[in-house]
């Protein structure tokens, strides 16, 4: 290892290769992450809980063990609505302040069992839902949000504080922070990876996801979850890309439009066949269906806190339990039926004429201020459709903040989507060195 | 209170009325339950964990508090795949022996917050799935199973050891033990009540449920979950009952047939219009769809134990993770699509011509031996359809064991189904005194 380079600047895949070949120790990587965090967390505020001594001891233990595979020794930031055996799960709620569950959530157990090191817990919007915001700031501009609700994981991975992070998505909580922080994110197919041990907000929508700084990072993690690497090569030349402005295109901002058109141009220049994709009329009603489902299922999800700790629950969540929007059972069932209708329709569009959908990750750049985490309007429909999404950085917007796009595949075709993303990413994302230069120059 | 009657022989509703009027204390009720348990648990073996001193202290505390409502002071048995703040959650797995999570599952938090007392944890099939069986025996005949996987909760409520119990259902784990133990059970609509904090086995199928010894017991609990009492009266005269032998009728045994025909006759005699209900062809494929979903989703659910504690996981669950049945993503998505198609079709059958469906709860009486918990063949389709089910006892079979039937309503119409069940139960279930006489005579 070139000791003049901080290991924390590497991608997970780069670090993994060095750890596997014993050219770098897990301890070296973790110490580098801790140095970066020490120099940055006072302003970025990505972490809710991190015990440096503890994680160094764990790193040393991992260095003594035979490798458990490509994730061995790689550190993770874990969004604090996800249980870990070693840290409290506060959910950024005063109700669960300092509460320790002592059991890993299913996705944490799998990466830990694959040799990963849980570095610490990252800040989140209260219950990954509504209410209290994370204190986290956007590493590219501290006056801007890093997005949410996976605020801390997005910012920590983007700011080179940790190579891998877990987020969750119910509306746009995973893919939007990927875009705002210039990183890669996979939201796998719904229930392709067990979400047990994540705070439940909406059983139909909540999905675990992970962040990295390249598609290869996402693939290394996917393999631990038995989402195998797709052996069939992908050629961008001739790749059929559906450019989907989505039924909410009126919400787009110049930076979001720039990212989408830039990605499309770069793919076209490489020989991909990029064509506009119009979704049939029922898809325009999915946004309202998402709201009905999130609200109704949230009423069941937050009843325990409503009953036991009413005054400490965010007003927005109390209102959800009280069903102030007056969503009826009929509306909920119609929302389910619409989503159930649309999912196979969307899946059926893929085939000889469509390999992948290209769509916005967010309206535009991360908004200014920490009172908002941005808008999930371009993500909700895809969350409800349950298929895999990969967020890829594209360019910087007029405010100097990163903007990304989303690739979408059909349900359960996660391996294929990752292979397509891996072929497309080097063309779409021309700025990885520029991101490093802006945040952490040599 | 007539102190010559043991309070544990009362239904939850009877005990609630006495506690509300301060004619009985929570401590008196709990001590009576503990006496019954002390005299019976050595043979029935319903409980995995119960701390008598602790629960008596808790009962005394509850007696000092103002009532939190109808559930105040009522004791519960909680199936040991459901987290409670005060007891370990072992899931009947050696992997989680003595593991304490320290946080109530969502349904436990709601009843505890409504004044209930968590008496102890009840035995279960490993992970409420496959593998190690509960040690629990059928209280009516110790050589027979109490059913599963909610074995301990079913037997404890049936044997008058505790008035209320939580169970879970993925196939037939809640309704079948209700039938085998001569008790009432509600499986509410899927996600009508948050299942957070129950061990996940299949996200699409797992459903929380509760047991009592009368429909009023089920309603008292439902109200705590904001499933309100239906104010519109139900008349059995003219009630439209669809007698659904279901697509698996060939599996029925004489006792199951007797229970169904007896219930139908009793309702007809009271003026109900009971007519055969044939389900359209696609419903005959739901059984296979259930298998595809349970297996595929189980592969994701048990990956953490497969990775971290492989040798301690039941072979049947290891095989699920390894997908030995070779269920493809296409088969899983077709199974989802079939269920998605059938749910609104089934819901749409209800209306002026159909108030409620009457269908078997099990093939027949509880089988002999503890190597099996019986067969979920008559429950799986209804679990997958996501609507509410109420199990009601009917009669004794030729082996002297109780047999019940199931009432089914459309999704999210839980309140109406409970009202219908309350009107029908006194007609269908003619043996409540006989059950008491057999298990715990005066």
Mean pLDDT of A289-311: 98
Q: Given the structure tokens 């007896």, which residue do they identify?
A: B262
The whole model's pTM is what?
A: 0.97
Q: Looking at the complex, does the CB of residue A348 fall below 8 Å from at least one CB of chain B?
A: no
Residue B133 appears among annotated catalytic residues: no
Q: Per-domain residue ranges for chain A?
A: 7-280+341-439
Residue in B32, B45, B79, B150 annotated catalytic: B79
Is the CB of A337 less than 8 angstroms away from the CB of B344?
yes
Mean pLDDT of chain A: 97
Tens of pLDDT, residues A6-20: 999 999 999 999 999
Mean pLDDT, residues B285-314? 97
**C-alpha angle A191/A196/A199, rounded to 5°?**
110
**DSSP-assigned letters across all residues of A101-117:** --S--HHHHHHHHTT-E
How confident is the model over A422-435, as a mean pLDDT? 97
Q: How confident is the model at residue B130 (pLDDT cuts 50, 70, 90)?
A: confident
Looking at the complex, report in whole angstroms how far the Cα of residue A291 sits from the nearest Cα belonging to chain B. Answer: 16
Tell me the Ramachandran region of residue B352: left when phi exceeds 0, alpha when psi lies from -120 to 50, beta otherwise: alpha
Distance from CA of A415 to the nearest CA of B (A): 12
Q: Is the pLDDT of residue B281 over 60?
A: yes
Specify the 3-state DSSP secondary structure of A212.
strand
A320/B contact by beta carbon, under 8 A? no
* B261 in catalytic set: no
CATH no., domain A7-280+341-439: 3.90.1300.10
Q: Measured between CA atoms, how close is A91 to chain B, in angstroms?
A: 14
pLDDT of residue B4: 61
Least CA distance to B206: which residue of chain A? A203
The Cα-based distances of A289 to A201, A283, A384, B16, B387 in angstroms read: 16, 10, 9, 40, 20
Residues A109 and B47: their CA atoms lie apart, in Å, by: 29
Measured distance CA(A221)–CA(A219) in Å, rounded: 5
- Among residues A58, A107, A99, the alpha carbon closest in space to that of A82 is found at A107
Instruction: Name the pLDDT band for B442 (thresholds 50, 70, 90).
Output: confident
**DSSP string over A380-436:** HHHHHHT--EEEEEEEE-TTS-EEEEEEE--TT-HHHHHHHHHHHHHHH---HHHHH
Q: Is the pLDDT of residue A1 over 50?
A: no
A112 close to B (CB below 8 A):
yes
A237 pLDDT above the threshold of 90: yes
**A chain contacts of residue B322, beta-carbon cutoff 8 Å:** none
Mutation target to probe the B interface, by most B beta carbons within 10 A, among A104, A118, A196, A341 is A196
Quick one: pLDDT at residue A2? 47
In 3D, which of B107, B112, B113 has the Cα closest to residue B193?
A: B107
Determine which helix (DSSP H) or strand (DSSP E) holds A49, and give its type and residue range: strand A47-50
Nearest to A113 among B304, B329, B344 (CB): B304
Nearest to A300 among B192, B204, B329 (CB): B192
- DSSP line for B192-249: TS--TTBPPS-TTT-EEEEEESSHHHHHHHHHHTT-PPP-S---STT-EEEE---TTG
Please name the residues between 194 and 233 in chain B that touch chain A, using a CB distance below 8 Å.
Answer: 194-196, 199-200, 203-204, 224-226
Is the pLDDT at B1 greater than 70? The verdict is no
Which one is catalytic: B16, B173, B201, B246? B173
For chain B, give the number of residues. 442
pLDDT in tens, B29-62: 999 999 999 999 999 999 999 999 999 999 999 9
Closest CA to B212 of B223, B198, B201: B223
List CB contacts (< 8 A) between A106 and chain B. 200, 300-301, 303-304
Chain B: give the shortest CA distance to residue A408, in Å. Answer: 17
Query: Which residues is B76 bridged to in the sheet?
Result: B118, B164
Buried b (16+ CB within 10 A) or exposed e, B301-323: bbbbbbbbeeeebbeebbbbbee
Query: What residues of chain A lie within 8 A of the CB of B332, using their CB?
Result: 412
- B102 contact A CB<8A: yes
Express as a percent the part of chain A with pLDDT over 90.
Answer: 97
- Measured at the CA of B407, the angle between CA B232 and CA B422, to 5 degrees, comes to 40
Residues in chain A, overall count? 442
**E strand or H helix at A163, and its extent?**
none
Strands of A93-171 (E only): list them.
117-122, 164-169
- Best residue in B99, B191, B295, B324 for a mutation probing chain A (most A CBs within 10 Å): B191
**pLDDT mean across residues, chain B:** 97
Q: What is the average pLDDT across A229-247?
A: 97
Residue B149 falls in the annotated catalytic set? yes
The mean pLDDT of A307-311, rounded to a whole number, is 97
Contact B308/A at CB under 8 A: yes
* Residues B312-321, mean pLDDT to the nearest whole number: 96
Q: Which CATH superfamily is domain B25-280+341-439 in?
A: Amidase signature (AS) domain (3.90.1300.10)
Judge if the upstream peptide bond of residue A149 is cis by omega within 30 degrees of 0: yes
Task: Point out the catalytic residue in the list A16, A32, A79, A202.
Answer: A79
CA distances for A402 relative to A125, A263, A389, A391, A394, angstroms: 21, 13, 18, 12, 7
B300–A337 CB contact, under 8 Å = no
Percent of chain A with pLDDT over 70: 99
B369 cis-preceded (ω within 30 degrees of 0): no
Query: Would you call A99 and B100 a contact, using CB atoms and an 8 Å cutoff?
Result: no
Q: B337 in contact with A at a CB cutoff of 8 Å?
A: yes
Question: The tokens of B357 are what?
Answer: 């469906």
B400: left (phi over 0), alpha (psi -120 to 50) or beta: left
| CB A208, CB A221: distance < 8 Å | no
d(CA A401, CA A287): 27
Going by C-alpha positions, the residue among B205, B198, B153 that lies closest to residue B177 is B153
Write out the DSSP string of B294-307.
Answer: HHHHHHHHTHHHHH
Q: Is residue B262 exposed (0-12), middle (13-18) or buried (19+ Cβ within 10 Å)? A: middle
Q: Reduced to 3 states, what is the DSSP secondary structure of residue A317?
A: helix
């Amino acid at each position: 290892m070139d000791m003049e380079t901080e290991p924390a600047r590497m991608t997970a895949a780069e670090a993994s290769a060095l750890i596997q070949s014993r050219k770098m120790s897990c301890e070296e990587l973790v110490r580098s992450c801790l140095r970066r965090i020490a120099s940055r967390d006072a302003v970025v505020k990505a972490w809710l809980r991190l015990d440096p001594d503890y994680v160094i001891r764990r790193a040393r233990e991992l260095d003594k063990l035979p490798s458990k595979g490509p994730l061995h020794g790689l550190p993770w930031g874990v969004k604090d609505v996800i249980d870990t055996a070693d840290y409290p799960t506060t959910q950024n709620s005063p109700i669960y302040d300092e509460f320790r569950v002592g059991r890993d959530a299913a996705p944490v157990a799998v990466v830990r069992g694959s040799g990963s090191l849980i570095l610490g817990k990252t800040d989140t919007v209260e219950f990954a839902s509504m209410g209290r915001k994370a204190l986290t700031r956007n590493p590219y501009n501290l006056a801007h949000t890093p997005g949410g609700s996976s605020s801390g994981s997005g910012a920590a991975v983007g700011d080179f504080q940790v190579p891998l992070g877990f987020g969750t998505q119910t509306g746009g909580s995973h893919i939007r922070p990927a875009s705002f922080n210039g990183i890669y994110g996979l939201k796998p197919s719904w229930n392709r990876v067990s979400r047990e041990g994540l705070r439940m907000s909406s059983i139909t929508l909540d999905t675990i996801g992970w962040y990295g700084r390249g598609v290869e990072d996402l693939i290394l993690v996917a393999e631990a979850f038995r989402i195998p690497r797709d052996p069939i090569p992908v050629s961008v030349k001739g790749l059929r890309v559906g450019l989907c402005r989505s039924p909410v295109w009126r919400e787009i901002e110049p930076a979001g439009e720039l990212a989408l058109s830039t990605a499309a141009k770069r793919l076209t220049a490489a020989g991909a066949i990029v064509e506009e994709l119009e979704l049939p009329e029922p898809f325009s009603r999915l946004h309202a269906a998402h709201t009905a489902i999130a609200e109704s299922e949230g009423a069941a999800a937050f009843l325990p806190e409503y009953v036991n700790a009413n005054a400490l629950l965010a007003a927005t969540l109390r209102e959800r339990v009280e069903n102030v929007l007056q969503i009826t059972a009929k509306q909920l069932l119609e929302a389910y039926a619409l989503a159930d209708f649309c999912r196979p329709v969307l899946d059926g569009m893929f085939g000889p004429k469509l390999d992948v959908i290209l769509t916005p990750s967010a309206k535009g750049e991360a908004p200014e201020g920490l009172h908002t985490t941005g808008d999930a309007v371009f993500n909700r429909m895809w969350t409800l459709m349950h298929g895999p999404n990969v967020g890829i950085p594209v360019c910087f917007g007029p405010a100097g903040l990163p903007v990304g796009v989303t690739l979408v595949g059909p349900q359960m075709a996660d391996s294929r989507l990752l292979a397509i993303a891996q072929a497309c990413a080097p063309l779409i994302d021309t700025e990885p060195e520029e991101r490093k230069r802006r945040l952490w120059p040599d």
